[in-house]
Structure 1
Amino acid sequence: MQRRDFLSAAGLAGLGLSTGAMAALRLGAPTPFSFDALRARARALAAQPHVAAPTPAPDVVQRIDYDAHGKLRFDAAEALFASGPGAFPVTFFHLGRFFPAPVRMHRIERTAGDAFARELRYDPASFSMPADSPARQLPEGAGFAGFRIQESRFGGAGQPDWRTNDWVAFLGASYFRAIGELYQYGLSARGIAIDVAVPGRPEEFPAFTNFWFEPSPADRSVMTVYALLEGPSVTGAYRFTMRRGKAVVMDIDSTL
């Protein structure tokens, strides 16, 4: 173990946070997290000029076209929460020509009532990709494009395999969608729509730039996802409380 890895593990142990379940993913240092703090961050960003996150190696990302992107699959063995806590592992979409904006992902853990977030670091080894894929030329820490919430890892008779089946997906700007009772995805929704079909004015597409994931060990049907929305004319803090039952029900709290 390298000294940096040892110190990181020692710091987590001091906070009472686990390290074993995180071994497959590269994670940043823990920082305090709360929905109130996220609201305050969105409010502070609203007072500043909007600056979109740059696309890493844009010439490389442009070469990851539809076909190339479809061949990039996140390894289920490295899914967030694949070993818990909670029921639902999370996998991630790769950057590509049609999804070039990097989105930062974070894991939330609680200890003694306090919440801490750790950012997930992009690692190409977490994806299966062809030997000639342009994605292999992306720099370290390039980022992710979006995420999927997989079916319950607890499975059961007649239940779909979580490794190959998901029930919620967030990908592109503020778009998201969920499956219905027949395990089929419906139309996409958006966190916000601005200037839709306004003559003489281009439509604005604010984007979710950060996500935080918090499973519910006490209720196996629930996953909570927090999001930061950023755009030229608006910022926002979102909390999605998603319940997987016969279909999917979302309770969404937002502050714009």
Structure 2
Amino acid sequence: MAGLLISSCSPSADPAPEAPAKPAPANPAAQSEAPVEPMTAVAPEAVVETLSPEAAAALAASEEDPSAAPPPPATPEFDFEDVRRKAEILASRPFQTPPGIPKEAAALDYDGYRRIQLRQDAAFWKDSSDKFRILPDPRGYLFNYAVRLNFVEEGEEVARPYSADDFNFYDLPLPDEAKRLLGFAGFRVVTPLNIAGKWDELISFRGASFFRALGAGNLYGASARGISIGTASPEGEQFPYFREFWLQKPAPGTDTIRIYALLDGESITGAYEFSVTPGVETKMQITATLFPRKALSTVGISPLTSMYFFSPHDIRKHPNDFRPAVHDSEGLSIQMYNGEWVWRPLFNPKTLQESVLADRPPLGFGLVQRKRDFDDYSDIEAGYHHRPTVWVQPKAGWGEGQLVLVEIPTVNEYNDNIVAYWKPKTAWQPGTAYTVSYDMKWSLLTSSVPDVATVAETFAGVKPAATQQLFVIDYEQIPEALLNGVEADISTSAGKILNPVIKTNPETGKIRLSFELEAQNIDVAELRALLTKGGKPITETWLYRWRKE
């Protein structure tokens, strides 16, 4: 089973707030199967370096006098190495809490903040780029940290300072001094993504190290972060933030925009390079070099964040909502290091849950929105059927570790309560540079298509007039030639599997697998199911955490 490792935990936790909060402690108790040797890929090795002589000198000097640390050396043309040196020097100095936001701006609610509009003539590159324009966002509401924006033009770094004159504040109760001190919170990149001549949002950077992107036809949903520190840990989560950006002006006709970012936080700094190419499937190539300020054992590489409220595959139903499902993502898809495909439906649990789903870097993983029909959600305003699938393909520097899924209780659809990330096995140490790279894809389509039949639907409930839990899995079309001699491979970590049945749905032509779980005297069961022929999988491996609720 490709080194699959599943762990269970269910400590108490408050519903996840909209603003970052400290989740409750988690106490995973792992269950694992013996790993098999990889067949198609080798786990990428971790890329680590010691500090450069310049940074080592800066560290020694700054311990006595922070102002004595030398500036980063210049390069002929501004590039990733310049940002890397800035991050390296920054890590040698104590973290400084950024200046606060004017209180009147912090007091704005969501609707008030959205009323601040960029003036049409204030968009960056509006007269000099045929592919991309930049729309800066001001601080306010939950977005407290000021960021600096720069351009890279003909290899030169050019600062773009904030000006209140770029924004229309209408009749918002903001004094002129507050408007003058507001500063940038982030920015959006727009491009003709869907219709020629119409400028649509492509990617947004705003708040901590969060960013989110769109493919053609998408609405914003799942998001990503540069790094996570302490997710679901007893010490509480930290939120490093992108403090400065450099946007490289593309040459005319170029389809890719390059963005550099400088990360800063209490425990870590970092340099990032994002190469973003819009399309039906918007593609991103990301390289980052991180510099811990202290030992870190709870790092999350390429953390993905999303919202899951409810759907038909839940044990606990939501009878008072007219909609059949509410979520930005419905499942975590994984292509294991040996090529095995895994599908894990998401949940909105009563208590915080943490699962470890792989112990070697996978070929890919992502938070997926599979159902694309309006009737699957029946929500005209939210448009959940247009939310993107986000797919990550690890490249260099991931090393040994665990693929972790965190599910946090939420009482509504306004809180992101799902996090998936790669956790390195060995703690990151100060004085060492860690370089990682990966690709991301954002799309209405499934970015990487399994070579086996995928799960179309999962249904769960209680068998009528009985106490057994009933599970029904519908698969997408399976060629008839594969059905002769097909077998169900079903297992559970606790309880007993009863009455497995494979049949064809005469209405849809899809194959249905159903079975029951005898769950007396147990609280949690990790379920696993797939269809095989001749001992080989013809479907995804379906995973499900049943909890007594």
Band the TM-score falls in, shorter-chain normalisation: 0.7 to 0.9
Bigger RCO of structures 1 and 2 (CA < 8 A, at least 6 apart): 1
Structure 1: state its 5+ residue gaps: 1-30
Q: Which residue of 2 aligns with 1:37?
A: 82
The answer to whether the aligner puts 1:183 opposite 2:226 as a matched pair is: no
Give the whole-Å Cα distance in 2 for the aligned partners of 1:206 and 1:62. 20
Q: Structure 1 residues 248, 56: closer, same or farther in 2, change over 3 A?
A: same
Q: Which residue of 2 aligns with 1:231?
A: 265
Larger displacement relative to structure 2 (78-87 or 183-192): 78-87
8 A contact 2:138–2:182 mirrored in 1:
no
Q: Structure 1 residues 55, 160: closer, same or farther in 2, change over 3 A?
A: farther
The answer to whether the aligner puts 1:88 opposite 2:128 as a matched pair is: no
Structure having the higher helix fraction is 1
Structure having the higher strand fraction is 2
Higher Cα radius of gyration = 2
Aligned ranges 1:168-179 → 2 under 5 Å? 168-179=203-214
Q: Which residue of 2 aligns with 1:49?
A: 94
8 A contact 2:164–2:179 mirrored in 1:
no
SS at match of 2:204: strand
Aligned length: 215
Give the whole-Å Cα distance in 2 for the aligned partners of 1:91 and 1:239. 19
Q: Which residue of 2 aligns with 1:243?
A: 277
TM-score by length of structure 2 reads 0.37
Give the whole-Å Cα distance in 2 for the aligned partners of 1:246 and 1:208. 28
CA RMSD of superposed structures (Å): 2.1
Q: Which residue of 2 aligns with 1:252?
A: 286
For residue 231 of structure 1, report the CA deviation from its aligned partner. Answer: 0.5
Q: Which residue of 2 aligns with 1:143?
A: 183
Q: Structure 1 residues 143, 246: closer, same or farther in 2, change over 3 A?
A: same
TM-score by length of structure 1 reads 0.77
Q: Which residue of 1 aligns with 2:104?
A: 60
8 A contact 1:221–1:245 mirrored in 2:
no
Percent pairwise identity: 31
For residue 144 of structure 1, report the CA deviation from its aligned partner. Answer: 0.4
Q: Which residue of 1 aligns with 2:201?
A: 166
Structure 2: state its 5+ residue gaps: 1-75, 291-549
SS at match of 2:180: coil
Moved over 4 A (4+): none
Give the whole-Å Cα distance in 1 for the aligned partners of 2:196 and 2:175. 33
1:144-176 residue CA offsets vs partner (Å, 9 max, x unmatched): 001100114xx89x43621xx211111100000
Q: Which residue of 1 aligns with 2:119?
A: 75
8 A contact 1:86–1:215 mirrored in 2:
no
Aligned ranges 1:80-229 → 2 under 5 Å? 80-85=124-129, 87-110=131-154, 115-134=155-174, 136-138=176-178, 140=180, 142-152=182-192, 158-159=195-196, 161-162=198-199, 165-199=200-234, 201-229=235-263
Q: Which amino acid aligns with 1:80?
A: F
For residue 241 of structure 1, report the CA deviation from its aligned partner. Answer: 0.3
